[in-house]
């Protein structure tokens, strides 16, 4: 089969493309800049014409994907802004929602062969931000909080602007499929990863141009930019990028994934967990808070990953493996 991967030059997407090609799929990727193509062509040159890239300059335009969806059997929609620098919710929400709907509309009208659409959502669409309380989340949860917060417009936090963009985009996808039941020849799967770390394959010239999650990892573990307090109080959940890619491929391979929303979380963390592993591997890296006792760690958010194991047979890289492989790559590049 042939799979369309939107935003195929991104951190997660390049791993998705690689995993698809390794599993025997042909891939048509989309990018919004011509200049993103040569690196990708080179990276996947061994796959010959099983890998092609097309330019879709503005994913928010209706009909944007009309040509790109022709002849593909499935779609992996990953393109969406991920950063915490927006000054107005529309900067995040418009491309996230209109981009998702534009892919789905093109698939409905011109993607006669499309049987499944996988949307890269996020635990951003699941969680309720709450730094005060320990919270447990599953696929049944939706982040209504951030959607309410962005009614404040520019006064909303950039965090909520991103979180709301993912919530609204995923909800729009489920709504579209429900409203067009009978007319669409495909079903929907949404993949909800937490913070994604691990080695990168996409084009990154220097640490500063890493994507949002990997840059934060680099700054925390290599640069040591967190205070001792932050290292043990900032808490989230994480997953290795290679497992996110596997989840995207299995979402196509496993019939039972159709219609499912699936959290792909390897576990919860505080920054010191990664810092401790890094320092143990290489004493030149920051030690952070050496009084940290992992058995007393205060993890604030837990995500149920049992569906990912049951439906996708997903196995997760450990925090140690993810950290070691990331650091090996940074070292090899001379970044520390
Ligand atoms: P990257 O920033 O590496 O990739 C984002 C991709 O989306 C790029 O191809 C980018 O294109 C494209 N994109 C961004 N904004 C727009 C826009 N306005 N119009 C068209 N294309 C756009 O990020 P990730 O790989 O980390 O993220 C990929 C997906 O995974 C996103 O949907 C994100 O929300 C989701 N995700 C990421 C997590 C993480 O921790 N990394 C966690 C959970 C979900 P260009 O290169 O041209 O800017």
Domains of the chain: 2-199+239-265+303-316 (3.40.50.720)
The pLDDT, as a whole number, for residue 68 is 98
pLDDT (average), residues 160-182: 98
What are the tokens at 153?
Answer: 């417009």
Alpha-carbon gap, residue 24 to 291, rounded angstroms: 49
Q: CA 292 → CA 56, 165, 219, 222, 288, distances in Å?
A: 48, 35, 19, 18, 9
Measured in Å, residue 196 CA sits from the centre of ligand 1 at: 12
**Best probe residue, ligand 1, of 5, 6, 7, 117 (max atoms within 8 Å of C-beta):** 7
Q: Distance from the CA of 189 to the center of ligand 1, in angstroms?
A: 18
Enter the tokens of residue 195. 């913070």
Q: Tell me, what's the pLDDT at 131?
A: 87
Confidence of residue 174 (pLDDT cuts 50, 70, 90): very high
pLDDT in tens, 124-141: 999 999 989 999 999 999
Backbone angles phi, psi at 15, to 5 degrees: -70, -35
Place of tokens 């149920």: 304
- Segment 280-307 shows an average pLDDT of 96
* Pair 250, 307: CB distance under 8 Å: no
Pocket, ligand 1, Cβ cutoff 6 A: 7, 9-13, 32-33, 59, 78-82, 95, 120, 122, 166, 193, 195-196, 211, 213
Q: Give the torsion sign (CA, 234, 239, 245, 248).
A: negative
What is the average pLDDT across 249-259?
98
Percentage of the chain exceeding pLDDT 70: 100
Residue 133 DSSP label = S
Give the span between the Cα atoms of 97 and 11, in whole angstroms: 20
Q: What is the value of ipTM here, to two decimals?
A: 0.99
Mean pLDDT of 264-271: 98
Atom nearest to 6 CA in ligand 1: 9
- Cite the active site residues: 166
Strand partners, 196: 239
Q: Of all atoms in ligand 1, which is nearest to the CA of residue 60?
A: 19
- Distance of alpha carbon 315 from alpha carbon 193, whole angstroms: 14
Q: How far is the CA of 324 from the centre of ligand 1 (A)?
A: 24
C-alpha of residue 9 to centroid of ligand 1, in Å = 9
| Number of Cβ within a 10 Å radius of residue 325 | 17
| Model confidence pLDDT, tens digit, residues 85-101 | 999 999 999 999 999 99
Instruction: Give the residue-averaged pLDDT of 140-153.
Output: 98
């Amino acid at each position: 089969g042939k799979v369309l991967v939107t935003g195929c030059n991104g951190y997660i997407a390049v791993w998705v493309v690689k995993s698809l090609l390794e599993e025997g799929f042909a891939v048509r990727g989309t990018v919004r800049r011509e200049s993103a193509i040569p690196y990708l062509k080179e990276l996947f040159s061994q796959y010959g014409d099983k890998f092609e890239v097309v330019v879709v300059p503005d994913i928010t335009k209706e009909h944007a994907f009309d040509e790109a969806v022709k002849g593909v059997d499935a779609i992996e929609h990953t393109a969406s802004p991920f950063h915490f620098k927006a000054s107005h919710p529309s900067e995040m929400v418009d491309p996230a929602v209109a981009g998702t709907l534009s892919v789905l509309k093109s698939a409905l009208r011109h993607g006669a062969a499309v049987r499944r659409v996988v949307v890269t959502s996020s635990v951003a669409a699941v969680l309720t931000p709450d730094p005060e309380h320990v919270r447990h989340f599953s696929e049944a949860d939706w982040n209504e909080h951030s959607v309410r917060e962005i009614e404040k417009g520019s006064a909303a936090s950039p965090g909520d602007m991103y979180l709301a963009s993912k919530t609204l985009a995923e909800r729009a996808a489920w709504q579209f499929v429900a409203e067009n039941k009978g007319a669409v020849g495909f079903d929907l799967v949404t993949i909800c990863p937490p913070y994604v770390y691990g080695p990168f394959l996409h084009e990154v010239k220097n640490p500063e141009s890493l994507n949002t999650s990997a840059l934060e990892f680099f700054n925390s573990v290599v640069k040591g930019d967190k205070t001792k307090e932050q290292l043990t109080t900032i808490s989230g959940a994480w997953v290795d990028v290679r497992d996110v890619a596997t989840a995207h491929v299995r979402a196509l391979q496993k019939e039972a994934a159709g219609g499912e929303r699936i959290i792909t979380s390897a576990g919860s963390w505080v920054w010191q967990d990664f810092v401790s592993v890094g320092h143990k591997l290489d004493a030149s890296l920051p030690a952070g808070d050496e009084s940290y006792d992992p058995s007393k760690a205060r993890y604030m958010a837990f995500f149920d990953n049992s569906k990912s194991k049951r439906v996708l047979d997903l196995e997760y890289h450990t925090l140690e493996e993810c950290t070691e492989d990331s650091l090996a790559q940074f070292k090899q590049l001379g970044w520390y």
